[in-house]
Structure 1
C-alpha cells in the first residue's frame, strides 16, 4: 500500500480495479447468499404476526418468525439448495456491480481532484468520499438493476416455480411486462443507494487507516473491520427503502405466484411507504433488518478484504 494509504482510490490500472472489484463481488455473494434469501423472504412477508386476522388472508403463504426460524422453514420445506435461489443472476450482478462501483469510485475521485486543482483547494476527504461513493453506487445500481430484480424474483419462489430458468424469466418478463418490467423499483433503489454508498465510503475511508494501526481486531485487518462498521451504519439508515424496493420488484402478473401469495399490490415509492405504515406500522418497514445487518457485516468484510488483497496482488505482479 502507498504511503498515503489511498490504494482504494488512486492505485492500480482501470483493468486491475475492474478485476479486483469483480473478484470481490463474486466471492462475497456466494458467502452471503443464504442470508440474502432469508432477508428477501422476510421483507416480502406483509402479514402481521400479532394480528389475529392474519390467518384469514394467508392464501397458503408461510409465516416466517425470525432469522433462525426462517432458515429452518426454508430448509425443511424446500431443501438446503433453496438457500441459494437466485444465485446465478445474483453472482452476475455482484461481479458487474462491484466492477462498475469500484471503477466509478476511482474515476470520480480522480475527476474531483482534477477539478479542484492544487492540494489546498481539494474537498475534505469525507466529502470527497461521500460524493464518489454516491456516484459509484448510483452508476452500479442502474447498470445492474435487471439482474437485481431477477435475483429477487427467484429468491421469492417457493416449490411452485414461477420461472423455470433464467433465460425463461428474461423471456417472460420481456413478453408480459416489457422493458419497464426489468426496472420495477428502480426509484427507491437509487434513493437508497446514493446515501448508502456515500455513507459507506465516507465511514470506510475514515475508519480504515486508524483501524489499520490496531493490532487485535476480530478479522485481523483494518480493511475488513472498517468495512463492517461502514456497512452496518449505512444499511440501518436506508433499510426502509430497500424493503420498498423488494415489494415493488415482485409486482406484475406473477405477484400472487411467489411463496408469499398474498403480497399486496403496490405502485410508487411514497404510496408503498404510506400503505406499509398504515397496515403494518413502522416495524413493517424494518422486516428483515436483523438478518440484513448479519449479512452486511460478512459481505462488506469479505468484499473489501478481497478487493484490497486482489488489487495488491495484481499491482505487485505487474511491477515484477
Structure 2
C-alpha cells in the first residue's frame, strides 16, 4: 500500500501572508521529502514482514513447480544432454553435421516421441528432495550467518543482505547437490541412452553402477557439479536483483509478474552462459565408464577441460547451449507460475495486490 501525507496550513493576516506562504512551501517540501522517505521505509518493511507461509507449503509448492517445469522442458533438456556428450565418442565429421532439428528427428524416428521424456521420472525423483533440502538448508545457513558479527544487521544494509543471500544460497545448493547427486547421475545416464539400452530403470541403474564401478561411481563428476553450483546461484541472484531493482525504478507501474518473469529469464540465460562449460564437463564425467565403455578423461576435472578444448576447440565447451537457452526462458516462467498457483491454493490466499 502507498502512504501519502498531506499538510494544509491556513494563515490569516494581510501583512504576514507572503512570509507564511513561503514558509508553507518550505514546510510542505520538507513534509514531502519526509513522506517519500517514510513511504520507502514502510514499503521495505512491508516486503520484509509479509505473512509467513508454512514450511510444508513452500516445500510442496517448490517441489511441484520444479517437477512440472522439468516435465514441460524435458525434450529440450534431453537434446542438451545428447549434444553435450557427443564429443566423447564421436569424430569431427559427425560433430560437424549435428543440429537440433536433425537430432530431434532422429529421436522420433529411432526411439519414438516418448523418448524425449527418457529419464524424466528420475528427474522428478531428484527434484523433489533437492528442492526440499535446498529450502531447509538455505533457512538454516541464513540463520547461522545472521549471527556472524557484521552481518547481524544485514536488513539495514543492502550489501550485507546480498552477501547473506549469496553465501546461504551457495551453501544450500552445494548441500542439496551433494545429498541428491546419485539421482542426478542416473538421470544423465538414462537420458544419454539412444538405441542401445543398458540401464533399464532407476533401480537397475543404481545397482549396475555400484556393481560395475563401485559406490564411488555414483559420485563421478561431483567436483564439477559443486564447482558450478555456487557461481550459478550467485550469478542468478545478482543479475535478477540488479535487473529487477533498475526495472522497477524506471517503470514502477509494470506488472510484478511480468517483471519477475523477464528478469528471471535473463538471469537464467546469464547464469547458463557462464557456467555451461562446467555443466558440460559434469555430464561427460558422469558418463565415464557407463555401460562398460572405455574412459576418455583420465586426468581429472581440469584435464577434461584441456582435452575438450584440444580435440573440439573452445566452442566444444558450449556444445548444446542453444537448446539450453530455449529451455531456460519457458522453464523459469513455468516454475514461477506453478509455484505461485500451488502456494496460493494450499495457503488459501491470493496475491491480488
The structure 1 segments of at least 4 consecutive aligned residues displaced by more than 6 Å after TM superposition are 7-10
3-state SS of paired residue (2:199): coil
Greater gyration radius: 2
How big is the shift at 1:216?
6.6
Question: 1:42, 1:287 within 8 Å by CA — same for their partners in 2?
Answer: yes
Is there any run of 5+ residues in structure 1 with no aligned partner, and where? 257-261
Q: Distance in 2 between matches of 1:105 and 1:285?
A: 31
Greater shift after overlay, 230-239 or 122-131? 122-131
Q: Aligned partners of 1:263, 1:297: CA distance in 2, in Å? A: 35
Among 143, 149, 152, the alignment partner of 1:117 is 152
Residues 8 and 308, structure 1, Cα contact 8 Å, conserved in 2: no
CA drift at 1:112: 2.9
Alignment of structure 1 residues 121-136 onto 2, 5 Å? 123-136=159-172
Name 1:152's counterpart in structure 2. Answer: 188
Question: Which residue number corresponds to residue 270 of structure 1?
Answer: 302
Q: Which residue of 2 aligns with 1:246?
A: 283
In the alignment, the residues of structure 2 paired with residue 165 and residue 294 of structure 1 have an alpha-carbon distance, to the nearest angstrom, of 28
Cα 1:79–1:207 change in 2 (3 A) is same
Question: Are positions 1:283 and 2:315 aligned together?
Answer: yes
* TM-aligned CA distance change 1:47 to 1:171, over 3 Å: closer
Relative to 1, partners in 2 of residues 1:264 and 1:169: Cα closer, same or farther, differing over 3 Å?
same
- Quick one: distance in 2 between partners of 1:156 and 1:86? 9
Determine the C-alpha separation between the residues in 2 that align with 1:112 and 1:9.
22
Q: Deviations over 1:279-299 (max 9, x none)?
A: 111011110011111112222
With over 3 angstroms needed to count, the CA separation of the structure-2 counterparts of 1:235 and 1:117, relative to structure 1, is same
How far off is 1:255 after superposition? 5.2
> RMSD between aligned alpha carbons?
3.1
Provide closer, same or farther for how the CA distance between residues 110 and 303 of structure 1 changes in structure 2, counting only shifts above 3 A: farther
| Equivalent in the alignment of 2:37 | none
Choose which of 73, 87, 91 in structure 1 pairs with 2:120: 87
Could you tell me which runs of 5 or more consecutive residues in structure 2 were left unpaired when the two chains were aligned.
2-41
TM-score by length of 2: 0.76
Q: Cα gap change, 1:138/1:71 in structure 2, threshold over 3 Å: closer, same or farther?
A: same
Q: Which of 307, 312, 336 is residue 304 of structure 1 equivalent to?
A: 336
Q: Does the CA-based 8 Å contact 2:225-2:282 persist in structure 1?
A: yes
Report if the CA contact (8 A) 1:85-1:155 is conserved: yes
Is the Cα–Cα contact under 8 Å of residues 297 and 303 in structure 2 kept in the other structure?
no
Offset at residue 12 of structure 1 (A): 2.4
Aligned-partner Cα distance in 2 for 1:141–1:28: 18
Paired position in structure 2 for 1:39? 80
Q: Are the counterparts in 2 of residues 133 and 197 from structure 1 also a CA contact under 8 Å? A: yes
Task: State how far apart, in whole Å, the 2-side matches of 1:10 and 1:109 are.
Answer: 19
1:215 partnered with 2:215:
no
Counterpart CA distance in 2 for 1:75 and 1:263 is 29
Q: How far off its partner does 1:311 sit?
A: 3.1
TM-score (norm: length of structure 1): 0.83
Give yes or no for contact 2:189–2:290 (8 Å, CA) kept in 1: no
- Could you tell me how far 1:312 is from its partner in structure 2? 4.0
Say if 1:68 and 1:127 are closer, same or farther in 2 by CA, change over 3 A: farther
Query: Which 10-residue stretch deviates more, 37-46 or 296-305?
Result: 296-305
Q: Which moved more, 1:6-15 or 1:110-119?
A: 6-15
Equivalent residue, structure 1, for 2:262: 225
| Matched residue, 1:259 | none
Which residue in the other structure is 2:223 paired with? 187
CA drift at 1:126: 2.9
SS in 2 for 1:142: helix
Q: Which has the higher contact order (CA 8 A, sep 6+)?
A: 1
| Distance in 2 separating the partners of 1:159 and 1:37 | 14
Judging changes above 3 Å, is the alpha-carbon distance between structure 1 residues 107 and 230 closer, same or farther for their aligned structure 2 residues?
A: farther
